[in-house]
């Protein structure tokens, strides 16, 4: 871990118990995040994105069957902390979260300003007045008029409520904010305005983000790095520039091809089939059923191969395979 | 140049190419205090006029609350016009009831945003599709079964046997939306109204569903009204596009023309606001108008977009409602910038 590393996740596992077996929602995930960077987690509905966020912040439902791995933040493995220490030292203080559909989760009987001020009182030990002043500052940062401090959530539009939820996650000045689909339910221009807010906060405060989304186009507004999740596993991590230009994993390539574009002649394409069940995921490559490039080897689970420093979970990137396809294409050229 | 687009019913009737004609349509909802005393109106659709041809697909684009669904629901006669009329094949249907209403509903299929919410959870697919047939008097059980199988085949839920007895919760979001589409198509309607049909689905599933809708449109010479807030899906299968803002149609033209020559400042903002996947996006802020759409109870005077518009002309835009201009043939816009004959957006 060098001094630019903020977060390191190693072999993180979160399974849920159900009557039909374990749901392997987060299955040995590895991820690293640098200071003041944003990593985007992309993937289809149900692939485990929100579960991963919950695992990182230890916001667990009752039916957990397995939960282990390492989550190092500033060299401290927070997985080793007791629940009480985790609450006191980590949640809100080091990392906070804007949960999926946060705008509908605000407390309806509390004024927006009081709600935003609360974590500052609890976790920073501020007085009510101090916390309220800080809340006012946060409202300005996220672009909510300060006279909304005294309004109730139902008096605000969806976009304004979402900004309030972001203000709440910001108020304790955490180093890391996890944003779960922060703009998916919002209108285009509201979405663009909120992405602007998130960018400014990142530039001005040095915060890092984990941005969870299925919206590839919008994710590029914030991404320094992209991690692609498929059926509970991370199948590729890449820097944004390489990823949006040319992703490595066949699934990432297909995802990218499914994005409709405003201009150009290319028609978006879809990925045939559906992701596998996380109750009994296939033993080989989990994408094999839908992969246009599968070959014999794909019946076995692919390990992580490193391609120019980027991890990719696909047999195509095994050295032998690459050598083989290289020689065969050379042979093709020669003939 | 301002033009008057009021078509008389006779003129509409003469043109058998036209399936739906909407004239000066107002959809207003009464706002009441304590349930009875009138306090005002929500002007969800305010003086909208357009025509839809047979076999044509048009898209309506705008942000939530701008009146898209209210317009649709009026076409489905779930709402009645407050003022103005809707003509179907030349007949004024604004106030039809009884048998005529039942017949009209069989001519219009409806695909809504949330497929799960649209399907009764306790009915298997077979029963969901059978219901409209029973209501519309298809008495022969054999014929009903045959049409249900056909409808499922058409939306590619095959082998049909695998789906007939499934309940909605056993299907993926994309499959649920296919059932909704099969139900909308089963009475062989002439018009399909699709209100944000893919906004709840994953990108890849979106493409599948949009392709399916396009296939149905082409094969059945269907007219389609596609409602969306996502401009990048519009090109997929519609020819013309209407942009709505705060209850008003503000721009209408062909899609390629709109993408290459957007005229209304709001349309321009929607185009700028639409992201394409590109790492360079993260390095700068997007220039989008601040604020949010206005309340439709007390919309701003003059142009409803003026409080957010960087091009607003003081003393004009905040006072007078913009007229309907046609700066480029076939390209209509309601904005004062085009009063003097300008044909493209001011840079
Ligand atoms: N408490 C739970 N008990 C059982 N299964 C669960 C639980 N929470 C989530 N799951 C399952 O775990 C898998 C991953 O869910 P998760 O919510 O993490 O997906 P996601 O990627 O965030 O999806 P979306 O894009 O729809 O938000 C899904 O199959 C889901 O049904
Ligand atoms: N039945 C109703 N009663 C009162 N107001 C309504 C009703 N239906 C819609 N509205 C209001 O009309 C406006 C337009 O709504 P809608 O047509 O649903 O917009 P969109 O589909 O573009 O999001 C909104 O302000 C909405 O709250
Ligand atoms: S391992 Fe095989 S099946 Fe899996 S993504 Fe790579 S090529 Fe496709
Ligand atoms: S009429 Fe005026 S305020 Fe309205 S969009 Fe045009 S320039 Fe802007
Ligand atoms: Mg989620
Ligand atoms: Mg709507």
ipTM of the complex: 0.89
Ligand 2 centroid – CA B227 distance (Å): 14
- pLDDT higher than 70, residue A330: no
Q: Looking at residue A303, what is its pLDDT?
A: 96
For A46, B20, B323, the CA distances from B340, given in Å and listed in that order, are 54, 33, 12
CA of B227 from ligand 6 middle (Å) equals 8
For residue B157, being part of any structural domain is answered with: yes
Structural domain total, chain B: 1
**From B172, B236, B277, residue closest to A259, measured CB to CB:** B277
Residue B163 maps to a domain = yes
Assess if residue B215 is contained within a domain. yes
Specify if B200 maps to a domain.
yes
Report the pLDDT averaged over residues B56-70.
89
Could you tell me which residues are beta bridge partners of residue A229?
A234
Query: How far apart (Å, rounded) are the C-alpha atoms in residues B293 and B269?
Result: 13
Whether A327 has a pLDDT exceeding 50, the answer reads: no
Higher-scoring residue by pLDDT: A332, A143: A143
Number of Cβ atoms within 10 Å of the Cβ of A2 = 5
- CB-based contacts of A9, cutoff 8 Å, min separation 6: A29, A30, A31, A32, A56, A69, A70, A71, A72
Min distance A329 CA to chain B CA atoms (Å)? 31
Residue B88 DSSP SS3: strand
* Tens-digit pLDDT profile for residues A152-184: 999 888 889 999 999 999 999 999 999 999 988
Computed over every residue of chain A, the mean pLDDT equals 92
Residue B264, domain member (yes or no): no
CATH code at position B109:
3.40.50.300
- Structure-token match 């022969």, residue found: B140
**Model confidence at A40: pLDDT above 90:** yes
Phi, psi of B280 (to 5 degrees): -65, -20
The answer to the question of residue B74 being in a domain is: yes
Q: How far from the centroid of its chain's Cα atoms is residue A227's Cα?
A: 8
b/e sequence B253-290, b meaning 16+ C-beta within 10 Å: bebebbbeebbbbbbbbbbbbbbbbebebbeeebebbe
Asked whether residue B303 carries a pLDDT value surpassing 70, the answer given is yes
Residue with tokens 């009752």: A62
- Per-residue pLDDT at B1: 40
Report the candidate in A40, A37, A32, A19 with the shortest Cα–Cα distance to residue A180: A40
Confidence of residue B65 (pLDDT cuts 50, 70, 90): confident
d(CA B82, CA B94): 10
Minimum distance, in Å, between the CA of residue B271 and any CA atom of chain A: 8
| Residue B148 in contact with ligand 2 by CB distance below 6 A | no
Residue in B with minimal Cα distance to A189: B273
Closest by CA position to B23, among listed B64, B83, B63: B83
Q: Report yes or no: A287 at the B interface, CB cutoff 8 Å.
A: no
| β partners of residue A34 | A5
Domain of residue B79, residue span: 5-236
| Structural domains present in chain A | 5-94+174-334 (3.40.50.300)
Q: What is the pLDDT of residues A239-290, one digit of tens each?
A: 999 999 999 999 999 999 999 999 888 889 999 988 999 999 999 999 999 9
Closest CA to A36 of B123, B182, B282, B116: B282
**pLDDT for B160-169, tens place per residue?**
999 999 999 8
B313 close to ligand 4 (CB < 6 Angstrom):
yes
Would residue B217 count as lying in a domain?
yes
pLDDT digits (tens, 9 = 90+) for B167-211: 998 888 889 999 999 999 999 999 999 998 988 888 889 999 999
Of A130-139, A322-331, B100-109, the least confident: A322-331
| Nearest C-alpha neighbor of B296 from the set B33, B45, B36, B70 | B45
Of B231, B259, B277, the CB nearest to A256: B277
* B31: in domain: yes
Q: Any idea which of A23-32, A241-250, B25-34, B118-127 has the lowest mean pLDDT? A: B25-34
pTM over 0.90: no
């Amino acid at each position: 871990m060098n001094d630019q590393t903020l977060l390191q996740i190693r072999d993180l596992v979160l399974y849920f118990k159900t009557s039909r077996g374990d749901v392997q929602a987060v299955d040995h995930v590895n991820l690293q995040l640098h200071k003041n960077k944003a990593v985007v987690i992309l993937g289809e509905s149900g692939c485990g994105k929100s579960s991963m966020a919950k695992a990182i912040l230890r916001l667990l439902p009752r039916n957990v069957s397995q939960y282990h791995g390492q989550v190092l933040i500033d060299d401290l493995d927070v997985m080793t902390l007791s629940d009480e220490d985790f609450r006191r030292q980590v949640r809100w203080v080091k990392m906070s979260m804007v949960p999926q559909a946060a705008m509908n989760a605000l407390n309806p009987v509390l004024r927006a300003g009081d709600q935003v001020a609360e974590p500052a009182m609890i976790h920073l030990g501020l007085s009510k007045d101090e916390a309220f002043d800080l809340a006012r500052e946060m409202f300005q940062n996220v672009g909510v008029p300060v006279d909304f401090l005294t309004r109730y959530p139902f008096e605000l539009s969806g976009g304004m409520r979402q900004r309030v939820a972001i203000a709440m996650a910001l108020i304790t000045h955490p180093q890391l904010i996890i944003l779960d689909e922060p703009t998916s339910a919002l209108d285009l221009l509201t979405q663009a305005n909120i992405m602007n807010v998130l960018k400014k906060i990142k530039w001005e405060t040095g915060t890092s983000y984990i941005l969870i989304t299925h919206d590839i186009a919008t994710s590029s507004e914030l991404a320094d790095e992209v991690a692609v999740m498929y059926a509970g596993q991370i199948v590729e991590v890449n820097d944004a520039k390489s990823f949006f230009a040319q992703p490595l994993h066949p699934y990432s390539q297909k995802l990218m091809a499914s994005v409709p574009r405003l201009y150009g002649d290319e028609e978006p394409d879809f990925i045939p089939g559906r992701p596998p069940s996380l109750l009994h995921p296939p033993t080989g490559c989990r994408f094999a059923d839908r992969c246009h490039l599968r070959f014999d080897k794909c019946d076995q689970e692919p390990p992580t191969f490193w391609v120019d420093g980027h991890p990719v979970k696909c047999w195509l990137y095994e050295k032998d395979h690459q050598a083989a396809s290289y020689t065969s294409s050379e042979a093709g050229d020669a003939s | 140049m301002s033009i008057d687009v009021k078509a008389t019913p006779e003129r509409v009737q003469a043109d058998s190419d036209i399936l739906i004609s909407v004239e000066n349509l107002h959809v207003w909802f009464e706002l009441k205090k304590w349930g009875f005393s009138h306090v005002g109106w929500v002007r969800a659709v305010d003086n909208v006029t357009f025509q839809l041809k047979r076999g044509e697909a048009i898209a309506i684009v705008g942000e939530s609350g701008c009146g898209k669904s209210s317009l649709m629901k009026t076409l489905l006669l779930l709402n009645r016009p407050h003022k103005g009329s809707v003509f179907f094949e030349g007949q004024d249907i604004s106030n039809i009831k009884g048998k005529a209403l039942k017949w009209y509903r069989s001519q219009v299929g409806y695909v809504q945003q949330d497929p799960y919410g649209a399907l009764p959870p306790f009915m298997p697919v077979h029963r969901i599709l059978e219901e409209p047939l029973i209501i519309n008097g298809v008495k022969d059980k054999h014929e009903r079964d045959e049409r249900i199988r056909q409808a499922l085949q058409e939306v590619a839920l095959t082998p049909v046997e695998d789906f007939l007895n499934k309940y909605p919760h056993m299907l993926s979001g994309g499959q649920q939306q296919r059932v909704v589409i099969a139900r909308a198509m089963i009475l062989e309607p002439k018009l399909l109204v699709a209100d944000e049909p893919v906004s709840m689905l994953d990108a890849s599933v979106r493409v599948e569903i949009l392709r399916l809708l396009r296939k149905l449109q082409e094969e059945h010479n269907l007219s389609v009204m596609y409602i969306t807030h996502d401009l990048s899906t519009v090109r997929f299968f519609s020819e013309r596009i209407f942009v709505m803002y705060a209850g008003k149609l503000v721009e209408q033209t062909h899609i390629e023309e709109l993408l290459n020559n957007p005229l209304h400042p709001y349309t321009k903002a929607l185009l700028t606001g639409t992201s394409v996947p590109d790492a360079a996006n993260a390095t700068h802020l997007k220039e989008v108008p601040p604020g949010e759409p206005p309340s439709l109870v007390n919309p701003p005077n003059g142009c409803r977009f003026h409080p957010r518009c960087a091009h607003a002309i003081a003393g004009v835009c905040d006072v007078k409602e913009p007229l309907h201009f046609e700066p480029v043939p076939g390209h209509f816009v309601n904005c004062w910038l085009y009063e003097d004959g300008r044909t493209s957006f001011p840079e």
